[in-house]
Structure 1
C-alpha cells in the first residue's frame, strides 16, 4: 500500500459548473502524478478522495457522452 500524497500545497480548482452562491461544489487538484484528488469545497480541510487518473478520465468521458480511450 502506498502512502497518501501530501496535499497541503495542492492547488485546488472548482468545477466549472459551480457558482459563487455557496452551493454544493467539488474541487479537484492537478499535478499529483497518477491521481486526481477531489474534495468538497465547503470542507476544504476535510478528506479528499484520491481517484486514479485513468478512472477520472473515464468518468469525465462518460459525463461528456464519449467513449473512454482504449475501449
Structure 2
C-alpha cells in the first residue's frame, strides 16, 4: 500500500514537472523570454558604452591638461 502511494505521488510530481517544462516551450513564452533577455542585454550595452565614453572623455581631459593641448594657439 505504501509502495503504491509512493509511485502515485511520484507519477503526479513527474507529470506536473513535465507539464511545466512543456508550457515553458510554448512559443509565446519563448518569445516573451527572448524579448526580455534582449532588452536586458541592450540595457547592459548602453550602460557599458556610457561608462566607457565617460572614462574616455575624462582621460582625454587629463591628457590634454598634462601636455598643454587645451590651451589655444595664438598666431601673431
TM-score between both structures, scaled by the size of structure 2: 0.23
Greater RCO (Cα-Cα under 8 Å, separation 6 or more): 1
Q: Which structure has more strand as a fraction of its residues?
A: 1
TM-score between both structures, scaled by the size of structure 1: 0.24
Q: Which structure has more helix as a fraction of its residues?
A: 2
